[in-house]
Structure 1
Amino acid sequence: MQKLRNTTTLGNNLRTIRKKCRLTQEQVVARLNLLNIEITRSYYSRYETGELNIPVETIVALRYVFQCSYDELFQNIRPDIQ
């Protein structure tokens, strides 16, 4: 299973988009479960805080739930070039 490295920015983007959609974490989780993404609210909250990596299929499902673009999901995320 591929995963994207989670950052606080991605978590912040998820929280911002969720609130813009006027959804609670519980509602997001319920919609993800309907899309066969088995997740709990406490687990999802750890995505928003940047504690957990997000599987690619979950990113795709979140885009569908939020009806947003990938650009919006990944807004302000820049490569860490040293």
Structure 2
Amino acid sequence: AVLPDYMVPSAYVLMEAFPLTPNGKLDRKALPAPDGDAYARQVFEAPQGEIEATIAAVWSELLGVETISRNDSFFALGGHSL
């Protein structure tokens, strides 16, 4: 309710401790990549029609997410503009 949508993390990864550099700073390169279960998801609604099914298949392969709902956001699932 306080943060704008673009500032809310799309994935949460539970960690026992953060990886640190020898200087004691956060080692960002050593952070694990979030898996498919780490992303916030809405209630699953299957893609409808041939076009939605094709887009869902491409997203699934590209992002490594098994199931894609018709209301999922490409960016919220880990996609980016590059």
Specify which structure has the higher proportion of helix.
1
Larger Rg: 2
Which one has a larger percent strand, Structure 1 or Structure 2?
A: 1
Scaled by the length of structure 2, what TM-score is found? 0.27
Which structure has more relative contact order (CA 8 Å, sep 6+)? It is 1
TM-score by length of 1: 0.27
